[in-house]
Amino acid sequence: MGLLRALFGTKLNALITVLMLAGFALVLPPLFGWAFGSAVWHGPNRKACVDAGACWAFINARMPLFFFGNYPAEERWRVGCALLVLVVPLLGAMASRRAGLWLAILGIGVPVIDAILLYGGVFGLPVVATARWGGLMLNTTLCFVALGGSIPLGIVLAFGRRSPYPVVRLVSTAMIEFWRGVPLLTVLFMGLILLPMVLPDGVTVDNLVRALVVLTLFTGAYMAETIRGGLQGIQPGQAEAAAALGMHPMQVQLLVLLPQALRMSIPGIVNIAVDLFKDTTLVSIVGLFDLMGVVNQSLKDTDWLGLATEGYTFAATVFFVACLLMSLGGSFLERRFGTTPHR
């Protein structure tokens, strides 16, 4: 009943509802017809598809490329293992009572294990050069490494900017303002074009490493401001009370202020994480084949020319689902640790 009143309660509301329904009726049936009704799901090339329906055969044929890039087929299990190694401690840190233990594993153990799994070279795992990494796996790697690097960096910079020492304050502020003041794309291009000119001939830095460093520094600056916002939201009485208990200034900052600031920054941090995940698609412009890069590139295969709609629809869906998962994770964290009252 409440819903009906909300939709048809007044004349204006009723009019808006009818117009919206008419709009849906106009748009949705052809869309469904295209996406499902007359779509073709399997086929060796574009000739198998029909004009009226979506050519999902294209997505189907290229699924491994979209998820793994050129990662060798016989080594792809390693990517799955790496994801598992990442997700288990992540869930542990979010849900378990011993969050600290899981966080320590997440911060120290996971990067090492995953680096070994993905890159290889030890324990009989063949080396898979980073040039072969691609697809959604690359987006995920970029996002998690940049996130893992930028949170500690952001904490340091946030404290640095509030430091009583002018030099520390100045350096932190300069760092934050520089990275916030330049567009990400510009920095990626600089890493790609300027770096080879500065380095001696023959010395090359891995393309992926360049992108990782740039993304980490860039995100670190935003992280710092979000955490600083959290620090400023804490009442001065907290620090004074802690000092009155005889705590060392360092203890006051790390044990009293920081945990509360991080709690208050959860929505901001999740926001940055979602943003970062979407920003990782920018690396396709500097020659790395992330999901977006693989889609763009697949559109150029002579077997599958002219399927941009299908390609971009698929990419949008994948990103939406991934970002939705991150948002859900974020709201779970807020409910568990957040200081905002429960609704």
Partner 1 sequence: MKHMFARAGQFAAAAFGAALLLSTAAQAQIGPAPGPTVDAIKKRGALNCGIDTGVPGFAAQDNSGTWKGLDIDYCRAIAAAVLGDASKVKFVPTTAAARFTVLQAGEIDVLIRDSTLTFSRSAQLGLDEVAVNFYAGQGFLVRKSIGVTKAADLQGATICVITGATLELNIADFARSTGAKIGTLLFEKPDEAVAAMEAGRCDGYTDDTGSLAGMRSTLKKPDDWFVMPELISKEPLGLHARSGDPRWQKILFWLDTALKSGEEFGVTKANADSMKTNKDPFILRLVGAEGDFGKLLGLDNEWALRAIKAVGNYGELYETHFGPNALNLPRGLNNLYNKGGLHYTLPLR
Q: Which is nearer to partner 1, 207 or 251 (CB)?
A: 207
Side-chain-facing half-sphere of 171: CA atoms under 13 Å = 9
Determine the Cα–Cα distance for residues 199 and 201; give it in Å rounded to an integer.
Answer: 6
Contact (Cβ atoms closer than 8 angstroms) between residue 260 and residue 238: yes
Q: Which is nearer to partner 1, 150 or 280 (CB)?
A: 280
User: Per rule CB under 8 A, is residue 38 in the interface with partner 1?
Assistant: no
Enumerate residues 245-284 that contact partner 1 by CB under 8 A: 284
Q: Which is nearer to partner 1, 66 or 102 (CB)?
A: 66
**For tokens 């009583």, what's the residue?**
164
Determine the Cα–Cα distance for residues 169 and 295; give it in Å rounded to an integer.
Answer: 44
**For tokens 């690097």, what's the residue?**
149
- Residue 287 DSSP SS3: coil
- Residue 135 DSSP SS3: strand
Q: Which is nearer to partner 1, 19 or 316 (CB)?
A: 316
Entry field: residues in the chain: 343
Output the smallest distance, CB 174 to partner 1, in A: 28
Q: Which of 189, 271, 323, 338 binds partner 1 (CB under 8 A)?
A: 189
Longest Cα–Cα distance in the chain: 78
User: Per rule CB under 8 A, is residue 196 in the interface with partner 1?
Assistant: yes
Enumerate residues 133-162 that contact partner 1 by CB under 8 A: none
Q: Which is nearer to partner 1, 149 or 293 (CB)?
A: 293
Q: Which is nearer to partner 1, 112 or 209 (CB)?
A: 209
Determine the Cα–Cα distance for residues 242 and 257; give it in Å rounded to an integer.
Answer: 10
Letters for 300-319 (x = contact with partner 1 by CB under 8 A, - = none) are: xxxx-xx-xx----------
Stretch that binds partner 1, among 95-103, 232-240, 286-294, 315-323 (CB under 8 A): 286-294
Stretch that binds partner 1, among 60-68, 159-167, 232-240, 252-260 (CB under 8 A): 60-68
Contact (Cβ atoms closer than 8 angstroms) between residue 46 and residue 55: yes
Three-state DSSP string of 8-42: HCCHHHHHHHHHHHHHHHHHHHHHHHHHHHCCECC
Contact (Cβ atoms closer than 8 angstroms) between residue 120 and residue 127: yes
User: Per rule CB under 8 A, is residue 296 in the interface with partner 1?
Assistant: yes
Determine the Cα–Cα distance for residues 213 and 126; give it in Å rounded to an integer.
Answer: 25
Q: Which of 286, 327, 332, 337 binds partner 1 (CB under 8 A)?
A: 286
Q: Which is nearer to partner 1, 233 or 287 (CB)?
A: 287
Burial code (b: 16+ CB inside 10 Å, e: under 16) for 195-225 equals eeeeeeeeeeeebbebbbbbbbbbbbbbbbb
Q: Which is nearer to partner 1, 81 or 286 (CB)?
A: 286
User: Per rule CB under 8 A, is residue 39 in the interface with partner 1?
Assistant: no
Enumerate residues 73-132 that contact partner 1 by CB under 8 A: 131
Name the residues that contact partner 1, by CB under 8 A. 46, 51, 61-62, 64-65, 69-70, 131, 189, 192-193, 196-197, 199, 201-202, 204, 284-287, 289, 293, 296-303, 305-306, 308-309
